[in-house]
A = this chain, B = another copy of it.
Amino acid sequence: MGAAPVTLREIVAALGGELVGSADTPIDRIATLEAAGASAITFLSNPRYRVQLAGSAAGCVVVAPSLRNEAASRGAAIVADDPYLYFARLTQWWARRTRPAAPVGVDPSARVDPSARVHPTASIGPLAVVEAEAEIAADAVVGAQCVVGRGARIGEGTRLHARAVVAFGCTIGARGIVHSGAVIGADGFGFAPTQAGYVKIEQLGAVRIGDDVEIGANTCIDRGALDDTVIEDGVKLDNLIQIAHNVRIGRGTAIAACVGIAGSTQIGARCTVAGQAGFAGHLTIADDVHIAAKATVMRSIAKPGVYSGYFPLDENRAFEKNAATLRQLYALRDRVRALERSLGNAGDAAESP
């Protein structure tokens, strides 16, 4: 990701922070503390990497005020209250500087229905489809081969990467990002079972997505059965996530890849869900709940905290023996209980039923 160099002066002019050292230091990349060379800027946010600071060859290190002197004794530095946030903002500035903006206007190969309202500052990429009465707001970007369905709405400054689908009637707020292959608004999975087989319940709701939401590649958010599926402001979804009909994800919640959430479950605000976790349907998860990787959430959670549940990994031979015993665990408990009774031990009495 090498690029035309900038000076530290330019960086501080754009992003703030206190510059220590030469403002003329040329920078042509952002790098990790370990890999940074003389023309790279890096950052130190985690105190446990502090020992690497003195030895870093970086042209500039972004540090917290507490490390000002330590960093200055090494070379150029930018002092910022939150170096990791500074780094994030620096990557955004860098991306704007080095990546061409999407061309404003409608690519001639795109298929835009005459009744769609496309803002003049929006960008519609090659071979995209924008259906009747869809609305594309100012500065929005609809990438190559995207589909925006009938009556769907893409908010200001929101970007759909190549080949995203936003189905009819679904809406996305401002400043969102939807990655390639994401499908927003496919039918929820609903059927009436009969002797003759399943009868489809048409999904008459839609998907409503707030502002500042990011949705990963090939992630699916199904439309609601009667009401809408709702993703609140500031939610971040990684790749290959399944969000079923009528789910609601609370503001500022982040969900890692390969998570599945069954129908009508409500997840609170500021939660985090690690990869491959799954939720049964019709649950209510409180705010500030943190679910660890691969967890299976089968009941509602009312109390904030960290919840885990995965089978611990082991060498296969040991696993096989432990797993076999696990299938007799209840019987084992009964045997322990019997032993306790033989000995008149108190353990049994203390056991929850």
**A194 touching B324 by the CB < 8 A rule?**
no
* Cβ-based interface call for A22 (8 A): no
- A150 to B147, alpha carbons, bound, how many Å? 21
**B319 touching A308 by the CB < 8 A rule?**
yes
**B239 touching A92 by the CB < 8 A rule?**
no
Instruction: Tell whether A31 pairs with B226 under 8 Å between CB atoms, given A145-B129, A256-B189.
Output: yes
Instruction: Tell whether A180 pairs with B167 under 8 Å between CB atoms, given A218-B218, A324-B312, A326-B312.
Output: yes
**B89 touching A199 by the CB < 8 A rule?**
yes
**B339 touching A330 by the CB < 8 A rule?**
no
**A199 touching B88 by the CB < 8 A rule?**
yes
Least CB distance, A337 to chain B, in whole angstroms: 8
Least CB distance, A236 to chain B, in whole angstroms: 5
- A61 to B193, alpha carbons, bound, how many Å? 20
A191 nearest CB neighbor, chain B only: B236
**A293 touching B293 by the CB < 8 A rule?**
no
**A322 touching B330 by the CB < 8 A rule?**
yes
Instruction: Tell whether A314 pairs with B308 under 8 Å between CB atoms, given A31-B226, A162-B147, A181-B181.
Output: yes
Total interface residues in chain A, CB < 8 Å: 138
Which residues of A (202-254) have their CB < 8 Å from a CB of B?
202-206, 212, 214, 216-218, 220, 222, 225-227, 233-234, 236, 238-240, 242, 244, 252, 254
A30's partner among B226, B278, B338 (CB-CB below 8 A) is B226
Least CB distance, A4 to chain B, in whole angstroms: 14
**A275 touching B254 by the CB < 8 A rule?**
no
* Cβ-based interface call for A111 (8 A): yes
**A339 touching B343 by the CB < 8 A rule?**
yes
* Cβ-based interface call for A66 (8 A): no
Q: Mark A61-86, 1 if CB is under 8 A from B, else 0.
A: 00000000000000000000010110
Task: List chain B residues, Cβ under 8 A from A35.
Answer: 226-227
* Cβ-based interface call for A51 (8 A): no
- A179 to B236, alpha carbons, bound, how many Å? 24
Q: Mark A306-327, 1 if CB is under 8 A from B, else 0.
A: 1111111111101111111111
**A318 touching B327 by the CB < 8 A rule?**
yes
- A35 to B320, alpha carbons, bound, how many Å? 35
Task: List chain B residues, Cβ under 8 A from A50.
Answer: none
Least CB distance, A241 to chain B, in whole angstroms: 8
**A333 touching B325 by the CB < 8 A rule?**
yes
**A319 touching B313 by the CB < 8 A rule?**
no
**B165 touching A95 by the CB < 8 A rule?**
no
- A75 to B292, alpha carbons, bound, how many Å? 49
**B88 touching A192 by the CB < 8 A rule?**
yes
* Cβ-based interface call for A32 (8 A): yes
- A182 to B251, alpha carbons, bound, how many Å? 30
Would you give 12 A-B contacts (Cβ < 8 Å), ordered by A? Answer: A31-B226, A82-B194, A95-B202, A111-B127, A127-B129, A181-B218, A191-B254, A242-B258, A299-B313, A311-B323, A331-B351, A336-B339
What 3 pairs across the A-B complex have the smallest Cβ distances?
A: A88-B192, A186-B217, A95-B202
